[in-house]
A and B are shown apart, each in its own frame.
Chain A
């Protein structure tokens, strides 16, 4: 008696334990994914996000955006000016470019003047000498040498021939450069240049292209940090330099040390005039970007730019819905009819048993095999990879599941129902259509629910049969042209966004957003089907 009780308790504990374990596993998997994915929709946007939305999607109010842009530009101005001034000292190409263009403009200026040939040649030669002296001053890494070259330039400053010409810019450049020379250690210029490159990259990541730079061709480089979390990440990269230094232990390993770039002792820019930039950006980042919480619900509608950098998962959702619904259109009638035949019509002979075994085996065949079959059969049949061939492949994949579930459901309908129908004079087919099928409906729907989720989530079958990473949005209408286009899909999109592009590493919120969308879509399809089943069984019970 006691033994039986103990067994009972142990059984209960194990059962509830496994249920709890399952729930915990679900929570462990789903909650972080949905949480991270939800950040694709709920986040703090910056003014750059508004700019991106305006340019790519024509969304927002131009007047409001203009006002905010003006405010943020004003807040950014001192930092950007500081950066520009400092880079002139380090990145010599900027200064030499300006000097060269001043010389060219001077030549043009002379050509349209009434000057004698002799005078023209003399002035050009003189200007050229001054320009070359300036270029040498800019290029050298020796401070005294640079100053002596600048002296040569400045000696000509009061030459009346250059007073009202475009060439006088060179003298102001020379004055600027003399100023810069006071602040910068020329011997460390190459060291500065490498670090300045990083600083500039991070500034671009924060605020978009720097003033004076041309508009980048790709949308990914045209805007700064569109999200506050991304902005904070780049702020960290901007301020801190990671140095790998030997550890004190005897294992030769290097350990990371975070050093502020403006640290007066160790930071590379600590003693330069660039130092205030870092605290300036750190303290005023909010004013420079104006972060506000937002709900980007259009994530579920928007197209994305290359590599899913900006935008949403709209075409992928549409593609998945199309594929799933179409595959059900093929699989459900075929599956239910085969199940009906197997249960109601076929004799329980050896052939039926073989067929049943085959169906069970098919249900367990790996999905990539279906994908290859789809490539070898449907793609060749239709002519090219497209929505039609992909959904036919998916339909084939879920067919065994639907047949099995329908068979069980039809078999579970009480014999008395059918007998009553037959007794009233209905034929075999009519009995099936009006009595057996409605009674088996909820069971069949369960099978459909299971296969819906499978069809929506499978990647392998559509990999070769019609899914693409980038393609046109299907234009769904009565004209069947869209059936013959390839499509994007959530499952293939999840794969592509993980392995495809290095950009994807920079947008984890979009990676998880795609995964979340797939989970939500499957959940939604399931809920819809469950609701339908509930309605159906209620009707059957006559409530």
Chain B
């Protein structure tokens, strides 16, 4: 429960005065986690609890995107890769060639929610309409029964897992038009939609709040139940990937199965994702 600042303070003094500090001879266990910015908050939160459960393990969490997570797992730069999409064929191939056998652990469900500015009277869109907006075929809200206002489509950058899910499930792998704005993260997409009356964007379900309006897609609102059941068209699982199934009893195994515990499920809910199991 207690976070020590004493260690930091000591280190400061150590840095300036170079005081000899006793260093334990035993090599402490490390756990390196890398990958998706969407799953990142879960990794952070699990690590917070893990620090209490296993004080001898030093955990590092890095959030550089799903693609980099996969690359890091293949290169052996991390023990666990967080990913908001499944591994691609090419990545699997590379992994196997290097002797790494990726195993997926689904830890939670997420929905990619389409959001607009709250002043927009539109409450519902069909998948084809959203596709047409992002392909540049519909450029004004007037065409959809809204106010006379140009549409500002906002998308995540092409290396993000959220983009991949949207691209596959909504866009049917069609190319986006050149008027689409690309932003680097969920908070940025949220901020752009919040401040622009004509904007439309997509974010993970954890980022919905009072400042943006969530649209129904094909008549279905993204909620806990529609995402858990998979009824919502853009629901997706969130993954942890490991090299082979981790040895039971190892720290990697404990981390990858932590989501099954009651605490793990509570954290998933607290972070705004949808838990898989009933707890």
Contact = CB atoms under 8 A, between A and B. Distances in A.
Interface of A: 55-58, 216-221, 237, 242, 244, 246, 251-256, 298, 301-307, 311-312, 314-315, 318, 321-322, 325, 379, 384-385, 463-464, 467-479, 481, 485-486, 496, 498-505
Contact of A502 (B19, B41, B119, B263): B41
Contacts of B3: 56-57, 302-305, 311
Contacts, number: 175
Contact of A470 (B20, B22, B59, B267): B59
A154 to B, nearest CB: 36
Interface of B: 1-5, 7-9, 11-12, 14-15, 18-23, 32, 37, 40-41, 43-45, 47-49, 58-64, 77, 118-121, 145-149, 184-188, 190, 197, 206-207, 210, 213, 263, 266-267, 270, 272
A220 B77 CA distance: 30
Contact of A318 (B12, B23, B49, B62): B12
Given A469-B44, A473-B8, A479-B23, A218 B147 contact: no
A478 B47 CA distance: 28
Contacts of A499: 37, 63, 184-188
Contact of A472 (B21, B43, B58): B58
B185 A498 contact: yes
B119 A470 contact: no
A502 B8 contact: no
Contacts of B188: 498-499
A254 B121 contact: yes
A298 to B, nearest CB: 6
Choose among A254, A255, A463 the residue with the greatest number of B CB atoms under 10 Å from its CB: A254
Contacts of B48: 218-219, 305-306
15 contacts: A216-B266, A217-B49, A217-B263, A251-B147, A252-B147, A253-B120, A254-B120, A302-B8, A314-B8, A318-B15, A468-B60, A476-B21, A477-B22, A478-B21, A498-B185
Choose among B12, B44, B47, B185 the residue with the greatest number of A CB atoms under 10 Å from its CB: B44
B37 A474 contact: no
Given A218-B48, A251-B147, A384 B77 contact: yes
Contacts of B120: 253-254
A301 B4 CA distance: 9
Contacts of A481: 23
Contacts of B119: 244, 253-256
Contact of A322 (B1, B15, B40, B145): B15
Contact of B1 (A55, A298, A302, A470): A55
Nearest to B207: A502
Contacts of A496: 63
Given A217-B49, A470-B44, A496-B63, A237 B7 contact: no
B59 to A, nearest CB: 7
Given A216-B270, A246-B121, A463-B64, 19 more contacts: A55-B2, A216-B266, A217-B263, A217-B266, A217-B267, A237-B210, A253-B149, A253-B197, A255-B119, A256-B118, A318-B8, A469-B44, A469-B63, A470-B61, A471-B58, A479-B21, A481-B23, A502-B272, A504-B187
Nearest to A221: B270
Nearest to B23: A479
A500 B40 contact: yes
B270 A485 contact: no
Contact of B206 (A321, A473, A502): A502
A510 to B, nearest CB: 14
Given A301-B9, A306-B41, A502-B272, A476 B61 contact: no
A474 B77 CA distance: 19
A515 to B, nearest CB: 15
B41 A500 contact: yes
A242 B62 CA distance: 37
A240 B277 CA distance: 36
Contacts of B210: 237, 242
Nearest to A301: B5
Contacts of A318: 8, 11-12, 15
A475 B13 CA distance: 11
Contacts of B263: 217
B175 to A, nearest CB: 25
Contacts of B64: 463-464
Contacts of A502: 41, 186-187, 190, 206-207, 272
A334 to B, nearest CB: 22
Given A311-B3, A315-B8, A468-B61, A477 B147 contact: no
Given A56-B2, A219-B48, A500-B40, A477 B118 contact: no
B118 A468 contact: no
Contacts of A252: 121, 145-148
B122 to A, nearest CB: 9
A467 B119 CA distance: 41
Q: Which A-B residue pairs are the 9 nearest by beta carbons? A: A499-B185, A471-B60, A306-B44, A477-B21, A479-B23, A472-B58, A470-B61, A314-B8, A252-B147
Nearest to A298: B5
Contacts of B60: 468, 470-472, 486
B109 to A, nearest CB: 17
B7 A475 contact: yes
B172 to A, nearest CB: 28
Contacts of B267: 217-218
Contacts of B148: 251-252
A298 B267 CA distance: 28
Contacts of B1: 55-56
Contacts of B41: 306-307, 500-503
Nearest to A472: B58
Contacts of A256: 118-119
Nearest to A467: B62
Given A217-B266, A500-B37, A475 B59 contact: no
B37 to A, nearest CB: 6
Nearest to A384: B77
B212 to A, nearest CB: 12
Given A218-B267, A476-B11, A306 B47 contact: yes
A237 B211 CA distance: 12
A303 B5 CA distance: 6
Choose among B5, B37, B44 the residue with the greatest number of A CB atoms under 10 Å from its CB: B5
A474 B263 CA distance: 29
A220 B270 contact: yes
Contacts of A311: 3
